[in-house]
Structure 1
């Protein structure tokens, strides 16, 4: 298969879809890999490393899209890329369709095959291609929150861990999944007093067993959230519904109950956000203030630590990329139910329920798009 790795052009996105080691593995299976020149520089990988691994360098993003049968990326295509996508071309990347109606319609119009990292799902319901970036974003959330709690950055002027004789900050984490667990772990390690909320009692029991003593668990409902935000200094939104919009657990009217300088970090912003007042921001301009509450809503948080993130992502995506390249996307998805769940948009049809529900679009069955294409009659 002809595989293309374009340079990411989203604002301050320094990750790359494939490491030189990933190129070498695909080459070992007989595939040709085209990498756009300088695509890996932001993550610390030189063009020469890709060439040594067996990649062919192409000078422009247009060349990569025009040549490849499968595109391996990190972030969803942005508007400048839409016209480059060919009908039937396989795109293997993060899409988060439920947060962008424009992107959804663009991919439908291009009749691309969109296999989304974030909805590949194991029988255990784990999301193997979302987990590594969730781990990175979760660990970054208290780090970024601690920074924006500083007074020069309009925060409350509180040191997350406090000092002897002074209470530490109170961190509220909404969601006990991968992001929430990692956020709570780092915040607790920095010395904060942490409350983690979830709707699963079983998950709260697990967290209660494994977390240190400065982490408490509370069942998540509107009443408990409204009470907790009154004393929170940093609130981390860490709620995920795979492939669908995140629910708004913190609404606009709740901001009035927060202390001035409270910091909100909404890690779920690329799925619409679980804080109503959040909108996607960039690393270049990461925050805004509403009602004296600081909102940090960067939609590609792991892009700030691209070396770590690219290695972690390729570790997870490469085995699936090899299957797709070796077998073709139809056969690979027929043989691997986890990959099949990654299909969101195929040849002009939505095949993932969360996406169809988000934008009121008709839902086609996955089985219908996995049928082999008819052989042309000579």
Structure 2
């Protein structure tokens, strides 16, 4: 199969869908890989490294899309990329369709098969292709919060770690999954006071054992969330429902009662955000303020560390991508976890949570291609 890697064109996005190491694996499986000129430059991979790995460098995105059957990306396709997709393409990337009806309509109109990293599952019920970026985003969220708390960035002028005799910042993490755990790990390591609000009692036990009492856990109720956000200097939103829009954990009316200069970091922004006042921002302009509370809602947080993020992502996606290259869509018939990633096929939505969020019909993915 011909595998294409276009350069990412979303604002401030420097990751790449395949590293040279991954290209070599595809080539060793007998596949042809075409890479857009400069696709890996932002992550530190020159064209020469791709050539040595066996890829062919092509001048532009048109050459990638017209020449490849399997398109491997990082971020959701942009409008100009929707127009390049056809029914002959398999798109393998992050999609986050639930809060993005325009993208969904573009993919449906293209006729392509679109497989979303974020809804591929594993035998443990986890999301293995989302996990590595969740790890990076959770850690970056804390660094970004610490920077945003500084006075010149609009925060209250608080040092995350405190100093002897002066207490540290109180960081409340909403959600104890991969993002939340990594955010808590970084925050606790920096000396902050950390509270995780979580609704799974078994998960709270795991976190308690993991952190050995270094953090506090609270069962997630409306009262608990309200109490904690009023005491918080930083709130990290880390809630997720696979494929669906993120639930709104903090309403606009809550902001007036929060500490002036406190910081909200919405890691769930790709799925629509878990704060009512969230809207996507970029690394170039990461923050805005509503009712005295600073919002950090960068939609591609891991893009700030493209070398680390690209390698971590490829480690997770490689085996699935090779299955698609080796077998095409037949790979979904033999791998039920990869099949969970199928969101769009032949102009139909094939993931129930995505279809529900968008208010469109759901079509069983196995019946869709018979």
Question: Scaled by the length of structure 2, what TM-score is found?
Answer: 0.99
1:280: which partner in 2?
280
Report the 3-state secondary structure (helix = DSSP H, G, I; strand = E; otherwise coil) of the residue aligned with 1:213: coil
What is the alpha-carbon distance in structure 2 between the residues aligned to residue 318 and residue 367 of structure 1? Answer: 23
Report the 3-state secondary structure (helix = DSSP H, G, I; strand = E; otherwise coil) of the residue aligned with 1:281: coil
Check if 1:213 corresponds to 2:213.
Answer: yes
Residues 63 and 26 (structure 1), Cα distance of their counterparts in 2 relative to 1, 3 Å cut: same
What is the alpha-carbon distance in structure 2 between the residues aligned to residue 43 and residue 246 of structure 1? Answer: 29
Would you say the 8 A contact 1:16–1:310 is kept in 2? yes
Report the 3-state secondary structure (helix = DSSP H, G, I; strand = E; otherwise coil) of the residue aligned with 1:114: strand
Unaligned runs of 5+ in 1: 372-378
1:309: which partner in 2?
309
Report the 3-state secondary structure (helix = DSSP H, G, I; strand = E; otherwise coil) of the residue aligned with 2:268: helix
Would you say the 8 A contact 2:99–2:358 is kept in 1? no
1:357: which partner in 2?
356
What is the alpha-carbon distance in structure 2 between the residues aligned to residue 149 and residue 317 of structure 1? Answer: 35
RMSD: 0.7
What is the alpha-carbon distance in structure 2 between the residues aligned to residue 112 and residue 82 of structure 1? Answer: 9
CA drift of 1:88 comes to 3.1
Unaligned runs of 5+ in 2: none
What is the alpha-carbon distance in structure 2 between the residues aligned to residue 174 and residue 167 of structure 1? Answer: 22
What is the alpha-carbon distance in structure 2 between the residues aligned to residue 230 and residue 53 of structure 1? Answer: 53
1:225: which partner in 2?
225
What is the alpha-carbon distance in structure 2 between the residues aligned to residue 187 and residue 213 of structure 1? Answer: 14
Would you say the 8 A contact 1:88–1:347 is kept in 2? no
1:374: which partner in 2?
none
For residues 56-108 of structure 1, give each alpha carbon's deviation from its aligned partner in whole angstroms, at most 9, with x where no partner exists. 00000111001100100000101121111112310000000001000001100
Would you say the 8 A contact 2:154–2:261 is kept in 1? yes
CA drift of 1:224 comes to 0.8
What is the alpha-carbon distance in structure 1 between the residues aligned to residue 346 and residue 71 of structure 2? Answer: 15
What is the alpha-carbon distance in structure 1 between the residues aligned to residue 328 and residue 366 of structure 2? Answer: 16
For residues 190-226 of structure 1, give each alpha carbon's deviation from its aligned partner in whole angstroms, at most 9, with x where no partner exists. 0000000101111111111111433100011111111
2:70: which partner in 1?
70
CA drift of 1:122 comes to 1.2
What is the alpha-carbon distance in structure 2 between the residues aligned to residue 81 and residue 150 of structure 1? Answer: 39
With 206-215 and 351-360 compared, the bigger mean Cα shift is at 206-215
1:113: which partner in 2?
113
2:257: which partner in 1?
257
Report the 3-state secondary structure (helix = DSSP H, G, I; strand = E; otherwise coil) of the residue aligned with 1:14: coil
Report the 3-state secondary structure (helix = DSSP H, G, I; strand = E; otherwise coil) of the residue aligned with 1:98: coil
1:376: which partner in 2?
none
1:125: which partner in 2?
125
1:338: which partner in 2?
337
For residues 162-217 of structure 1, give each alpha carbon's deviation from its aligned partner in whole angstroms, at most 9, with x where no partner exists. 00000110000000000000000100000000000101111111111111433100
What is the alpha-carbon distance in structure 2 between the residues aligned to residue 16 and residue 215 of structure 1? Answer: 35
What is the alpha-carbon distance in structure 2 between the residues aligned to residue 212 and residue 41 of structure 1? Answer: 42
